[in-house]
C-alpha cells in the first residue's frame, strides 16, 4: 500500500465543505487502488488570522513543505476586508505561493458535453473546448516593487526577470507536448516593455521545442478570441495578472466556476485548489458545488503523486455523475434530473469512482 501525506487547508467560507467532499472521494478511491492518505489540517486565511493573528502561520508553511502535496479550499470574505492589507487572507495566500515556490498555475477549462447548455455561448462555439491556461504565479504586478499608496495616488510595478519567464515557458511547452502541441503566449508587447521581454524570451525558449507551434497574441485580443473562437486555443501561456483574468473568463465557457480545478506547481511542492472563491454568502447551506475541488484532488493524484489510474477513476466518476443528471444548485436549471446537496454530490462521485 502506498501512503501519501497531504496537507489540508480548508480555509474560509465554503472551503471546509468542499474539502470534506474531496477527501471523501480520495478515501473512496484509496480503498480500490491500494492507497492511503494521511491528512494534516493546517490554517490559512481569515480563520488563521482569527486564531493566530496571522493569515499565514509559519507552521502552515513548514507542514506544507513536509507533505507530498497540498489540497486547498478557499479563503477570504468581507469579514476581513477592513484589516490592514498585510493581515488580509489574500496577502497570506500570495505569501504562501511565494514561500512554496509554486510559480506555475495550471488551469484547465474543459467543456463537459453534459453541460454544454450551461454556457452562455452557443453549443457550436464551445463544444470540444479543452484549454490549459498556464499562468505565472509568483511574479508580475502582484509582487513587483516599488508599490504604494497615498490619498491621491496608488502605484504597482509589473516586473519579470528572464529566469522567471524561462521557467514558466518551459512548463507551457512541456504541457503542450502532451496535448495539442500549440502554445499561444499572451502579452501586451505593443505598449509594455516587460511584455516585450516576455515575448522575446518565450520565442527564444520555443526553439527548444520544434514540435510545438508558438503564436503570440495581445491580451485584449485574447479576451475577445476566447469568446469568439475558443477552440483555437490549446495551451495559453501568460503572466500573473493577465492569467488571473483570462482563466476566469475561460472558466465561464464551461458554464460554472464551480466546475474547474487548478494546480500550482514548482520545484518543491504542488498546491491543488478550485479556481473559485470562498463564497461566504452560501457557506453552511450545503449548496456549494464540490466538483472543482474533487477535480483538483484528481489533478493532485496525477501531477503530484503519479497516480494516474486513480485520477482517471475520479475524472470518469465526475463525467458519469453529470451525464446521469445530478446537479448542485448552481447548475439546477441545466438538464437536472436530481438537485443534490454538496455532501450528496460528493457521495455520488465517491461511489462511482469505486466502480
For the annotated catalytic residues, the residue numbers are 142, 188, 220, 244, 248
Cell of 34: 491500494
The C-alpha atoms of residue 117 and residue 131 are separated, in whole angstroms, by 18
C-beta neighbour count of 167 within 10 angstroms? 16
What is the dihedral sign for C-alpha 330, 331, 337, 341? negative
The C-alpha atoms of residue 100 and residue 135 are separated, in whole angstroms, by 16
Q: Who's near 305: CB < 8 A, 6+ residues apart?
A: 4, 68, 69
The C-alpha atoms of residue 292 and residue 315 are separated, in whole angstroms, by 11
The H-or-E segment that residue 154 falls in is strand 154-155
* Residue tagged 496608488 (cell numbers): 154
Cell of 104: 506555475
Amino acid at each position: 500500500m502506498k501512503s501519501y501525506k497531504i496537507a489540508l487547508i480548508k480555509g474560509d467560507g465554503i472551503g471546509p465543505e468542499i474539502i470534506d467532499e474531496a477527501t471523501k472521494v480520495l478515501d473512496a478511491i484509496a480503498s480500490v487502488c491500494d492507497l492511503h492518505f494521511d491528512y494534516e489540517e493546517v490554517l490559512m486565511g481569515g480563520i488563521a488570522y482569527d486564531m493566530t493573528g496571522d493569515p499565514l502561520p509559519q507552521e502552515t508553511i513548514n507542514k506544507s513543505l513536509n507533505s507530498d502535496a497540498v489540497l486547498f479550499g478557499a479563503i477570504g470574505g468581507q469579514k476581513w476586508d477592513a484589516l490592514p492589507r498585510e493581515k488580509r487572507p489574500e496577502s497570506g495566500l500570495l505569501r504562501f505561493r511565494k514561500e512554496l515556490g509554486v510559480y506555475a498555475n495550471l488551469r484547465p477549462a474543459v467543456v463537459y458535453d453534459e453541460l454544454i447548455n450551461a454556457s452562455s455561448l452557443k453549443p457550436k462555439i464551445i463544444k470540444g473546448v479543452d484549454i490549459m491556461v498556464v499562468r505565472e504565479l509568483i511574479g508580475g504586478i502582484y509582487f513587483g516593487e516599488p508599490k504604494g499608496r497615498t490619498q491621491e495616488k496608488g502605484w504597482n510595478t509589473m516586473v519579470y526577470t528572464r529566469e522567471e519567464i524561462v521557467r514558466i515557458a518551459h512548463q507551457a511547452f512541456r504541457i503542450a507536448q502532451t496535448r495539442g502541441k500549440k502554445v499561444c503566449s499572451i502579452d501586451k508587447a505593443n505598449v509594455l516593455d516587460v511584455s516585450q521581454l516576455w515575448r522575446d524570451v518565450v520565442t527564444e525558449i520555443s526553439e527548444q521545442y520544434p514540435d510545438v507551434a508558438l503564436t503570440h497574441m495581445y491580451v485584449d485580443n485574447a479576451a475577445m478570441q476566447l469568446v469568439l473562437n475558443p477552440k483555437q486555443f490549446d495551451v495559453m501561456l501568460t503572466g500573473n495578472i493577465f492569467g488571473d483574468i483570462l482563466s476566469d473568463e475561460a472558466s465561464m465557457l464551461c458554464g460554472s466556476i464551480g466546475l474547474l480545478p487548478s494546480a500550482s506547481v514548482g520545484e518543491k511542492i504542488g498546491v491543488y485548489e478550485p479556481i473559485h472563491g470562498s463564497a461566504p454568502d452560501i457557506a453552511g447551506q450545503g449548496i456549494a458545488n464540490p466538483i472543482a475541488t474533487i477535480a483538483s484532488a484528481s489533478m493532485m493524484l496525477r501531477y503530484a503523486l503519479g497516480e494516474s489510474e486513480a485520477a482517471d477513476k475520479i475524472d470518469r466518476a465526475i463525467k458519469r455523475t453529470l451525464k446521469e443528471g445530478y446537479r448542485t444548485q448552481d447548475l439546477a436549471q441545466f438538464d437536472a434530473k436530481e438537485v443534490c446537496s454538496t455532501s450528496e454530490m460528493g457521495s455520488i462521485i465517491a461511489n462511482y469512482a469505486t466502480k
